[in-house]
Structure 1
Amino acid sequence: MALLLPLLTALVMCSCGPVGALSCDLPESQGRLSRKTLELLDQMRRVSTSLCLEDRSDFRFPREMVNGSQLQKAQAVSVLHEMLQQIFNLFHTERSSAAWTPTLLGRLRTGLHQQLEHLEACLVQVTAEEDSASAMENSTLALRRYFWGIRLYLQEKNYSDCAWEIVRVEVMGSFSSSTNLQEKLRRKDGDLGSS
């Protein structure tokens, strides 16, 4: 018990002080993981998209959530986290296991999980630093509605190969947008670090 108090004190100091601030910087490894995730999604193609043109759907991706230049850091990290969480949930179902090659699906899940772990630590820190709870909640709700629409679409299409292909392409587009948001955050962090 005597060792527990100093350990807890050290953890609190690290999460609140300058050392903890560094943990929220989005390192290059986060960018590499994102590019790897996009590559895996591309490799997961099983059906030619041209065969699935009649299955296309407009899922109404909330582009303003990832393109907004006025996003505070906490809101941007929240958007990234929610997007990764929803993609992870989508590809972590029994139906997705039946649709994709187990090796590629496993690697995709692992990469998404690694990114989520880093962003969770970052989200806790930036949320404590910024007061943007309502903006974060609005962003989260918009993304949840978007992914709910994707799940409904899959269900309506009976999880067909074409439906999964349309969803794979859609997720690649939305994930690519989130990768651009990560780049904006990295540049902002770099600007803050150099000033």
Structure 2
Amino acid sequence: MAHLLPLLTALLLCSYGPVGSLGCQLPENSVQLSKMTWQLLGQMRTISPALCLRDRRDFRFPREVLNASHFQNTQDMSVLHEILQQIYNLFHTQQASAAWNKTVLAQLRTTLRKQLPDLNTCSVVQGRARQDSVLTTESPTLALKRYFHGIHVYLEEKKHSDCAWELVRMQLQRALASTIQLQESLRSKDADSGSS
């Protein structure tokens, strides 16, 4: 039975396409949907951040997880999926429903939901491919989970106040802008590898 696991893993990876890329390609509309998500987060602004200076917090976004030169394509997809999934989870709570314009919030959720399935496939493949390897550094998704946990804790500490939500919204908009840069970089890498 122990000998079957590597064979099954190899078959799974091959079923997703070439083993080198693990068959994970950035979906065609991914950049466009991320830009739409970024714009929707901008539309959600309800108060001036200047009114919230006393509530500021440095959430320490782990920028290193978005350095496309460090990771394989599947790791990039896993990072993108984790960020979008965490944003979706954050805005899919009762507290978010109470804090934001319902129409824009529904559009945000829909846009995020459209992005997640393709990226989830790559996340699963990446996780299986990595199961037998020893990681010497913290996994990018673990760093992201810690970052978003800090955001959840902050919102709870601030009792989901308008200022807390506004500062989180701004933080997520900045993080999403970074993912758009990563996606554009991946698009460029895919185009370069496709032409050679």
**Structure 2 residue identity aligned to 1:182:** Q
**Structure 2 residue identity aligned to 1:64:** E
Correspondence for 1:106: 106
Q: Give the secondary structure class of the aligned counterpart of 1:141.
A: helix
Q: Give the secondary structure class of the aligned counterpart of 1:82.
A: helix
- Aligned-residue offset at 1:121: 2.5
Q: Structure 1 length normalisation: TM-score? A: 0.83
Q: Structure 2 length normalisation: TM-score? A: 0.83
Supply the distance in 2 between the matched residues of 1:61 and 1:190 (Cα, whole angstroms).
29
Equivalent pairs, count: 182
Is 2:86 aligned against 1:86? yes
Q: 1:75 and 1:194, CA in 2 relative to 1: closer, same or farther beyond 3 A?
A: same
Q: 1:189 and 1:171, CA in 2 relative to 1: closer, same or farther beyond 3 A?
A: same
Correspondence for 1:147: 148
Unaligned runs of 5+ in 2: 1-11
Q: Is the 8 A contact 1:74 1:136 kept in 2?
A: no
Correspondence for 2:40: 40
Identity %: 55
Could you list the structure 1 runs, at least 4 aligned residues long, displaced by more than 2 angstroms after superposition: 14-18, 21-25, 121-137
Supply the distance in 2 between the matched residues of 1:27 and 1:133 (Cα, whole angstroms).
29
Q: 1:63 and 1:185, CA in 2 relative to 1: closer, same or farther beyond 3 A?
A: same
Q: Is the 8 A contact 2:24 2:73 kept in 1?
A: no
Q: 1:32 and 1:88, CA in 2 relative to 1: closer, same or farther beyond 3 A?
A: same
Q: Is the 8 A contact 2:30 2:115 kept in 1?
A: yes
**Structure 2 residue identity aligned to 1:181:** L
Correspondence for 1:9: none
1:21-45 deviation digits (Å, cap 9, x = unpaired):
7973224411110110000000000
1:30-75 deviation digits (Å, cap 9, x = unpaired):
1110110000000000111111111111001001011352211121
Supply the distance in 1 between the matched residues of 2:117 and 2:183 (Cα, whole angstroms).
15
Unaligned runs of 5+ in 1: 1-11
Correspondence for 1:184: 185
Correspondence for 1:64: 64
**Structure 2 residue identity aligned to 1:76:** D
Q: 1:183 and 1:158, CA in 2 relative to 1: closer, same or farther beyond 3 A?
A: same
Correspondence for 1:163: 164
Supply the distance in 2 between the matched residues of 1:171 and 1:24 (Cα, whole angstroms).
25
- Aligned-residue offset at 1:16: 3.5
Higher helix fraction (1 or 2):
1
Q: Is the 8 A contact 1:30 1:115 kept in 2?
A: yes
1:70-90 deviation digits (Å, cap 9, x = unpaired):
211121111111111111110
Q: Is the 8 A contact 2:24 2:74 kept in 1?
A: no
Supply the distance in 1 between the matched residues of 2:23 and 2:38 (Cα, whole angstroms).
24
1:101-158 deviation digits (Å, cap 9, x = unpaired):
1111111011111111121123345556778784797111100100010011111111
